[in-house]
Amino acid sequence: MTTFIILLIIAAYLTYLYNSIISADNSAKRAWSDLVAYKRNLLKIIPKLEESISSYRNYESETLHSITKLRTSIDSLSTKEIDTSSLKETEELSKDVSTALKVSLENYPELKTDNLYIKFMKEWTDAQENITASINFFNQAVENFNNKIMQFPTNLINKVFFRKDKIVEFNDAQSMQDFSYKPNFK
């Protein structure tokens, strides 16, 4: 009877470990899907931007080209597959568009008083803040998953049942270059 109880406790513990890996994997996938959803929300904002600068179209064709590239990049993000390299490309394009918008604002001061443009810029800023928060949440979920599949004893459960690989966290190399402090991780 004692052996049976011990085996039952071990089975329950192994089931808990097994389920914790599934939960961590699902959290990382959900965080990725949320991140893609926030990026796709930019697609709702982009037509407002195009409308705002349409009267400057002849002068700002480069900005419109950047917007088109951003739209295409966002459309290519998949909720089914975690692809941080595609996200990195999309983030770089978002930064290019933001920079181009600032230049447009400097070149065309009358845009500062355009209500449509002001509303667009608020929506753009809000969307970018949501994306940043979503990237942070995604990286936390990825860290949790990676810890689960690397730490004992869940690493054994992973090797036996799942054989899942680590998920690559998203990091913005360009932003990292701007930091003068570099931790000495080994």
- Residue percentage of the chain with pLDDT more than 90: 27
| Digit-coded pLDDT (tens) for 108-161 | 666 666 677 777 778 888 888 888 888 899 999 999 999 999 999 999 999 999
pLDDT of res. 177: 53
More confident residue, 33 or 174: 33
Banded model confidence at residue 71, pLDDT cuts 50, 70, 90:
confident
pLDDT of residue 173: 59
pLDDT of 179 reads 46
Lowest mean per-residue pLDDT among 47-56, 69-78, 92-101: 47-56
Residues in the chain: 186
> Taking the model in full, what pTM does it have?
0.72
How many Å apart are CA 170 and CA 186, to the nearest integer? Answer: 19
- Residue spans of the domains in the chain: they are 15-170
Answer yes or no: is pLDDT of 97 > 90. no
